[in-house]
Amino acid sequence: MNNKLLGIILIIIGTALCIWGYDVYDSAGSQIERTFSGDTPMEAWLGLIGGAVCIVLGIFRLK
């Protein structure tokens, strides 16, 4: 039961991180920065990739 609870928590945290990362990526300041420099903020990458990793780990914990 403990692994399932940890899996659910990881999936919830991963989903929140992905949403936050996408919000940072899609923000007006980020769009302006990408227009002039072509760089994506590191926070967006950390949120998206970290969230995806948490979701995958959570799915494996549920099995």
Percent of the chain scoring above 70 in pLDDT? 98
Question: Which pTM value belongs to this model?
Answer: 0.84
* 8 Å CB contact between 10 and 56: no
- Whole-angstrom CA distances from 53 to 15, 38, 45, 49, 57 are 10, 25, 12, 6, 6
Look at the chain and report how many structural domains it folds into: 1
pLDDT digits (tens, 9 = 90+) for 3-25: 899 999 999 999 999 999 999 98
Range of the domain at 52: 2-62
Ramachandran angles phi, psi of 47, nearest 5° = -65, -45
Task: Output the six-digit token pair for 5.
Answer: 């609870």
